Structure 1
């Protein structure tokens, strides 16, 4: 296991937290915090490293299993599912890219692009695109879309179709807010962006949040990385926090992406940070000689999901 010593970034005196990292389990002294951190579990009155895993025979179809907690046995167990058991488009969508909601209003494994309507066309999961209000096979070049309404989808694994300020549909690689400069849209899911005085798209900061109820952490997302400013409401303004003393036992770990810990009745930065997923857990599963270990919602999968959602308007 490779440990990462403190990598909190400083912008002046501001605190920027890396949500891909978390405290080492041994530093956590609050049971509730321990049990919500990936790869930590409260055992024998202390927080210890724990591998959340489910084991299935390597001959089975790993895509047809999820890893869920069984409260009766107090352990994680592999549970087989069929796409057809999900009766709503919402529930079906949670199992992407294995299950898709088709034109017959049923959840099933992927068949072919024309089997899906425009609303549920899997343009981000499969090589499908939308043309003349229909879901068709194959990716289309963004330049082939001639209106802002039809300019959606991707033309490659990296290029999202976006409508530009000069009224053209162009392929753009979404890396951060600045990637959206020159386009009509200046915000996407999981990124908080704004247009500055020059019309450029930039990340928002704490000071852009004008009400106390909205004074939450300001997220800064870059491809493959997720960090955010720690914000605090002070004298009628939302500002960037210079410490975490405004957080209590309930919010300390949660609001700092588990980069801070509650100890000695105050919120303190952890001495050692490490990746939220153990090194041997790659892409949701680990291959052993005669079995596969499924990691349910591993940090690497969540990271990829976050980047995928950057492409959803």
Structure 2
């Protein structure tokens, strides 16, 4: 037990002293915000003395009326959109889990059930298990009218993936290997299924070292760091490849950008913006929202319990 407690203390100290990573998908809830923060978020509203979640009726434009709300009769109402609410093929194709069939929008069943007017609309069809579709070649179903052949659509079929290793030249090294990986030519003269999960994955792939997350260091592709940012205006955060996260940066008295280990450099104006809403301004300090902090502690306790 003493060993577990020691591990817990060491790990906890490491978290406190470590770089700050913020998750853009773990934004604070509206009630956590002060007024200046509340006004920045489209789904929050200030009501007399506190920030609250907006209701469907609070959205006055169709583009903001989403989620469990639906735009009907020129206003946003409390009614979740379903496939059957999509009025045409285009809107149906853009709505997850739906497909256009027999002039109506239905829940996705299987790729072969759908015939679309544009080949690319097969590509956006998705099943519950992320089943993907593609247009069946360039062929179309036809309808004969007055001895003329009229195209009525593109038949969809299950997505066909390629075996990248079969390609022996850079020119032919193309196509999708999986739902997330594509064929890319490597400097060793072979074709591989490539997916950028870490910067080092791009070693040997000439153009795949994504400058948004990574940088070239000789022949290697490595993570960008705050020190790569050379102006104070840009010294806010560095995005990470995984899970929509970012590392916070801090501009120092030496006019250099470094990784931040706390949020004391942030103020009421920058706290919420720089942390993508995952921190808020309270008691004159920039603090992580309680729900996010509790989640981190719970995760840590679970980790230690299994050591």
TM range (shorter): 0.5 to 0.7
Which of 19, 23, 29 pairs up with 2:34? Answer: 29
The reply on whether 1:195 has 2:195 as its aligned counterpart is no
Which ranges in structure 2 are unaligned for 5 or more consecutive residues?
1-11, 58-65, 101-107, 127-131, 138-155, 296-307
How far is 1:232 from its partner? 2.6
Which of 238, 241, 253 pairs up with 2:257? Answer: 238
- In 1, are the aligned partners of 2:38 and 2:46 still within 8 Å (CA)? no
Structure 1 Cα separation of the partners of residues 77 and 13 of structure 2: 34
Structure 1 Cα separation of the partners of residues 117 and 188 of structure 2: 32
- In 2, are the aligned partners of 1:232 and 1:241 still within 8 Å (CA)? yes
Which of 260, 272, 289 pairs up with 1:270? Answer: 289
How far is 1:205 from its partner? 0.9
Q: 1:262 to 1:66 in 2, by over 3 A?
A: closer
- In 2, are the aligned partners of 1:8 and 1:16 still within 8 Å (CA)? no
Q: How does 1:19-98 map to 2 (within 5 A)?
A: 19-23=24-28, 26-30=31-35, 32-33=37-38, 36=41, 45-47=49-51, 68=69, 76-78=78-80, 80-84=85-89
Q: 1:147 to 1:240 in 2, by over 3 A?
A: same
How far is 1:94 from its partner? 6.0
TM-score of the aligned structures, taking structure 2 as reference length: 0.56
Aligned-residue RMSD, C-alpha: 4.8
1:24-56 per-residue CA deviation (whole Å, 9 max, x = no partner) reads 555433364387387x76556334578989xxx
Equivalent pairs counted in the alignment come to 236
Q: 1:121 to 1:36 in 2, by over 3 A?
A: same
How far is 1:161 from its partner? 2.1
Partner of 2:119: 116
The reply on whether 1:258 has 2:277 as its aligned counterpart is yes
Q: 1:99 to 1:150 in 2, by over 3 A?
A: farther
How far is 1:23 from its partner? 3.5
1:156-204 per-residue CA deviation (whole Å, 9 max, x = no partner) reads 2354322212232211344222222232234449x5112224x232221
Equivalent position SS for 2:264: coil
How far is 1:98 from its partner? 5.4
Partner of 1:138: 160
Partner of 1:17: 22
The reply on whether 1:208 has 2:224 as its aligned counterpart is no
Higher relative contact order (CA 8 A, sep 6+): 1
Structure 1 Cα separation of the partners of residues 165 and 18 of structure 2: 45
Q: 1:75 to 1:17 in 2, by over 3 A?
A: same
Q: How does 1:175-186 map to 2 (within 5 A)?
A: 175-186=197-208
How far is 1:266 from its partner? 3.5
